[in-house]
Amino acid sequence: MLKEQLEDVEKRIQAACDRSGRRREDVTLIAVSKTKPVSTLQEAYDLGIRVFGENKVQELTEKYEALPKDIHWHMIGHLQTNKVKYIVDKVDLIHSVDSLRLAETIEKEAEKHNCHANILLEVNVAEEESKFGLKTNEVIPLVEKIAYLPHITVRGLMTIAPFVDNPEKNRTIFADLQKLYVDIKKKNIDNVNVSILSMGMTNDFEVAIEEGATMVRIGTAIFGARNYNI
């Protein structure tokens, strides 16, 4: 079942790339494995998946210990400053930085662990009350501040679009994030090297790819529905 679902997602990513004149290799699939057991991740690994996204620090570190070391781990969930130390040297990318305080903590812990942290700034493009993330107009000032921190680099932007019945409703949100991304690139800020646009989930990843996503975070379409009660 996992194999078929992965193949289906892969086909849909390819089709969205074809429709928008983009190359498949310019879009990274992050398999969002939160709540799924290690055995399921191992199964995905055996099918060739090497990039996994998790949203909880403890779950990520447990899976990190249990699974092969050539996996690339992405922290996609809200991150508390007191937990940065557990993951800073284990993840390739933190998708969810939304304050200077969190960036400064990542800087401090990266220095301590003798590593370099790659981050995305999470933008709440739709300004939903219930969501974390920066407002659009807060992004460039924060990028300029983080640029001074030597152990952390802003690689791009991330958004979680609203849950909608029709993914077309999120198209302008993805387009707006892409515009902001281009604005940051144009500013050529020292120590800022943006090349990543993390947007699109099970319900809307095709539209996100059409609007320029370079990373899609897909859980349900690969692993099936999550059960939070176990």
Ligand X SMILES: *Cc1c(COP(=O)(O)O)cnc(C)c1O
Using alpha carbons only, give the angle 94, 99, 100 rounded to the nearest 5 degrees: 100
Distance, CA of 140 to CA of 22 (rounded, Å): 27
Secondary structure of 59-109 as H, E, C letters:
HHHHHHHHCCCCCEEEECCCCCHHHHHHHCCCCCEEEEECCHHHHHHHHHH
In the region spanning residues 2 to 31, those forming contacts with ligand X, defined by CB under 6 A, are none
Site for ligand X contains 167 (CB under 6 A): no
What's the closest the beta carbon of residue 188 comes to ligand X, in angstroms?
Answer: 29
Q: Give the count of residues interacting with ligand X (CB under 6 A).
A: 13
- Considering the complex, state which of residue 141 and residue 164 has its C-beta at the smaller distance from ligand X: 164
- Using the rule CB under 6 A, which residue among 16, 73, 74, 77 binds ligand X? 77
Site for ligand X contains 201 (CB under 6 A): yes
- Considering the complex, state which of residue 105 and residue 203 has its C-beta at the smaller distance from ligand X: 203
C-beta atoms surrounding 67 within 10 Å = 16
What's the closest the beta carbon of residue 175 comes to ligand X, in angstroms?
Answer: 19
End-to-end CA distance of the chain: 21
- Using the rule CB under 6 A, which residue among 103, 120, 160, 161 binds ligand X? 160
- Using the rule CB under 6 A, which residue among 9, 31, 32, 106 binds ligand X? 32
Identify which range of 5-13, 43-51, 64-72, 195-203 contacts ligand X by CB under 6 A: 195-203
- The tokens for 159 are 């958004």
Please name the amino acid found at residue 134: L
Length of the chain, in residues: 230
What's the closest the beta carbon of residue 130 comes to ligand X, in angstroms?
Answer: 13
Distance, CA of 6 to CA of 40 (rounded, Å): 13
CB 47 within 8 A of CB 3: yes
Site for ligand X contains 55 (CB under 6 A): yes
Site for ligand X contains 220 (CB under 6 A): yes
Residues that bind ligand X (CB under 6 A): 32, 34, 55, 76-77, 160, 201-203, 217-220
